[in-house]
Structure 1
Amino acid sequence: MKEAMQQKEEFTLDSIPEPTDIENIIYSLMVNPNLSSINYFNDFSEAGISPESIGDGDNDEIGLFDIDSTGTSLAMSTHAFHHHLENDPQKATEILIARAARKMLCLGAQPTAVSAFLYHIDFADPNGQYIASGAKKGLENAAEKFNLKVSDKKIRFDHFSGHGPVPPTIIISMVGVVEDKEKLTTHAFKQKGGNIFLIGRSVEDIGSSEYLEFYHGISDSPLPAFNMEDELRIQAAMRELHKLGLLQSASPVGKGGLFFTLLRAAIPNGLGFDITTDAETRMDSFLFGEAMGRILLEVESEKEDDFVDFMTGKNIPFFTLGHITKGELRIDDNSLGYIDKMTPGV
């Protein structure tokens, strides 16, 4: 690692004042292209994206493909990490693969294989070898932990610097097997009154989040909190929850943190949510932090006791967030209006 990187002053959560106006943060982040309800940059077609198309396709960006007449299908998704890769390439790569596997398991697919491509590595820079070596270790370690086959791994070196500085980027593609498409658990909330749970450990962390970078303008921060062993336990629990039929919907907490994960789950069916935040965690960290190993779940009322018993028996942290509403969004008894306010143009 470069000496300059070793001497870099570390970001601390205490340097960010705890906010009091959550609504202002939400509407400020809504214009972020990575979080917008209508993301024009995620469609390569020339045709404009119609507001009526919001929520079309209920798999939250995972592609599904039939491979035979028995009902078996493949699921595939792509994920990337860019400028934060330089801070800790091994951890960044492990996070990326864990995120992809968690998303597959929320759907009900079994992660099977992964490919990784490392771009914009300057072979003339000694730090390039550090990044490549760390990414390789992260890929191999995560593949072993998650029982994945590595189908391909390549590095693209930058031979010229005429295009200016380009941050190293790793892109991974993951393939999973779906045995029965009729049993898939999608990300969209299904019905008013459903119970909403968050499984996984809530931590004080906003590192590398869209909130920190877009709202506060701080791009130099640690990677999101991540613990491989916690991730493995949570993903194993998800497999059992699917088998027990206890889930109505499931979403990995991702870009934008818990609030935008809730929003992505609410939009497809025009539903809302009424939640209570964790009093022991900073509100901005709880709502907008992007720490790994957390999943948003919808559970029917009649299955709530079975779900709680299962989670308690497995000794896996979980938090009762609240319930699904007909369309209103409420946080700690404060109304943010209705879901149509969060879908510009509708």
Structure 2
Amino acid sequence: IVCSGGEPIGVTNCLNFGNPYDPEVYFQFVHAVTGMGDACKKFNTPVTGGNVSFYNQNPDGPVYPTPTIGMVGILDNIDQKMTMHFKDAGDIIVLIGAQHNDIASSEYLHKLKGVQYSPAPYFNLEEEYNTQQLVSKLIRNKKIKSAHDISEGGLMITLLESGFSGGKGFSVHPTIDIRQDAYWFGEAQGRVVVSIAASEWGAVQAAATAEGIAITQLGTVTANEVEVAGNNWGSIEDWKNKYDTAIEKLIQ
């Protein structure tokens, strides 16, 4: 909602867990609700309703703990609407928030490396709040052209998704010396990828620095080619086709 230019105002929930008489399941439930409460208080987003579903399990064990959040927000002025796709070749791609040497609970670690259990990815509530406040301010002041939060799939998937809708590619390179899988596919929270006109870099950097928020140039928007760390990865259209047909090809 923040990356769309809106203001979050409330949430509902659907909390799905196994047998609450199992101490492990009860532990999961208590900490999920506690964490959700802490975040809602910080962001002033009351929980207006929801439901809890227990005993979701079979003889093999319970389902993964699955707290699901639905959130609504308000966009008072349609002119403040922000979209996620890159706009113009030559724009600077900027990361707001810090990179972390962390691949815990990522899709990469789970699906590609087969690690079923790992810690939660990095998260700091104060950093998350401050980052979102900065992104809102930059959108209101029309300093950025696109915004997309980093979530499932990490930085690389965020970049690709930012290129798909507008058909724009990107040229990016690592900016810190951490393990490469964590850099590109880690799902640490509190990070947003934005694109800006080159002329706005000074103002955006100053705004982030004033708030004590890490900010980094990742690279530039291209006409359609994808280049990562100096290697040509083909066109954004090719990657969009792979992305759009992945499930179809999996079940053929």
Give me the TM-score of the superposition, normalised by structure 1.
0.67
Q: Name the CA distance, whole Å, in 1 between partners of 2:192 and 2:161.
A: 13
Q: Name the CA distance, whole Å, in 2 between partners of 1:292 and 1:169.
A: 18
Verify: 1:272 aligned to 2:169, yes or no: yes
Q: Name the CA distance, whole Å, in 2 between partners of 1:335 and 1:159.
A: 46
Q: Name the CA distance, whole Å, in 2 between partners of 1:141 and 1:123.
A: 22
Verify: 1:142 aligned to 2:39, yes or no: yes
- Aligned partner of 2:250 in structure 1 is none
Deviations 1:187-230 (A, max 9, x none): 01111111100010111000000111111111111111111111
- Aligned partner of 1:223 in structure 2 is 120
Task: Report how far residue 243 of structure 1 moved.
Answer: 1.9
- Aligned partner of 2:215 in structure 1 is 318
Range with bigger deviation, 311-320 or 200-209: 311-320
- Aligned partner of 2:249 in structure 1 is none
Q: Structure 2 vs 1, CA of residues 308 and 160 (structure 1 numbering), >3 Å: closer, same or farther? A: closer
User: 50, 60, 69: which is aligned to 1:172?
Assistant: 69
Q: Which amino acid aligns with 2:74?
A: V
Q: Which amino acid aligns with 1:128?
A: V
User: 187, 207, 213: which is aligned to 2:104?
Assistant: 207
- Aligned partner of 1:185 in structure 2 is 82
Q: SS at 1:113's partner residue?
A: strand
Range with bigger deviation, 151-160 or 109-118: 151-160
Q: SS at 1:122's partner residue?
A: coil
Extract unaligned runs of 5+ from structure 1: 1-103
Checking the alignment, whether the CA contact within 8 Å between 1:111 and 1:176 is kept in structure 2 is yes
Q: Which amino acid aligns with 1:315?
A: G
Q: Name the CA distance, whole Å, in 2 between partners of 1:261 and 1:117.
A: 26
Deviations 1:46-90 (A, max 9, x none): xxxxxxxxxxxxxxxxxxxxxxxxxxxxxxxxxxxxxxxxxxxxx
- Aligned partner of 2:48 in structure 1 is 151
User: 297, 317, 331: which is aligned to 2:194?
Assistant: 297
Task: Report how far residue 163 of structure 1 moved.
Answer: 8.3
Q: Which amino acid aligns with 1:140?
A: G
Extract unaligned runs of 5+ from structure 2: 245-252
Q: Which amino acid aligns with 1:177?
A: I
Q: Name the CA distance, whole Å, in 2 between partners of 1:135 and 1:112.
A: 20
Structure 1 segments of 4+ aligned residues over 3 angstroms from their partners: 159-165
Q: Which amino acid aligns with 1:192?
A: A
Q: SS at 2:102's partner residue?
A: coil
- Aligned partner of 1:288 in structure 2 is 185
Verify: 1:109 aligned to 2:6, yes or no: yes
Q: Name the CA distance, whole Å, in 1 between partners of 2:227 and 2:21.
A: 53
Task: Report how far residue 289 of structure 1 moved.
Answer: 0.5
Q: Name the CA distance, whole Å, in 2 between partners of 1:112 and 1:291.
A: 24
- Aligned partner of 1:12 in structure 2 is none
- Aligned partner of 1:196 in structure 2 is 93
**Aligned residue runs from structure 1 range 248-263, under 5 A:** 248-263=145-160
Q: Structure 2 vs 1, CA of residues 110 and 125 (structure 1 numbering), >3 Å: closer, same or farther? A: same
Checking the alignment, whether the CA contact within 8 Å between 1:278 and 1:286 is kept in structure 2 is no
Q: Which amino acid aligns with 2:189?
A: M
Checking the alignment, whether the CA contact within 8 Å between 1:106 and 1:238 is kept in structure 2 is yes
Structure number with the bigger relative contact order (C-alpha 8 A, sep ≥ 6) is 2
Task: Report how far residue 313 of structure 1 moved.
Answer: 2.1
Q: Name the CA distance, whole Å, in 1 between partners of 2:195 and 2:144.
A: 6
Checking the alignment, whether the CA contact within 8 Å between 2:95 and 2:191 is kept in structure 1 is yes
Q: Which amino acid aligns with 1:260?
A: I
- Aligned-residue RMSD, C-alpha: 1.8
Checking the alignment, whether the CA contact within 8 Å between 1:123 and 1:159 is kept in structure 2 is no
Q: Which amino acid aligns with 2:229?
A: D
Checking the alignment, whether the CA contact within 8 Å between 1:252 and 1:296 is kept in structure 2 is yes
Q: Which amino acid aligns with 1:327?
A: N
Task: Report how far residue 280 of structure 1 moved.
Answer: 1.9
Q: Name the CA distance, whole Å, in 2 between partners of 1:153 and 1:300.
A: 42
Number of residue pairs the alignment of both structures matches = 243
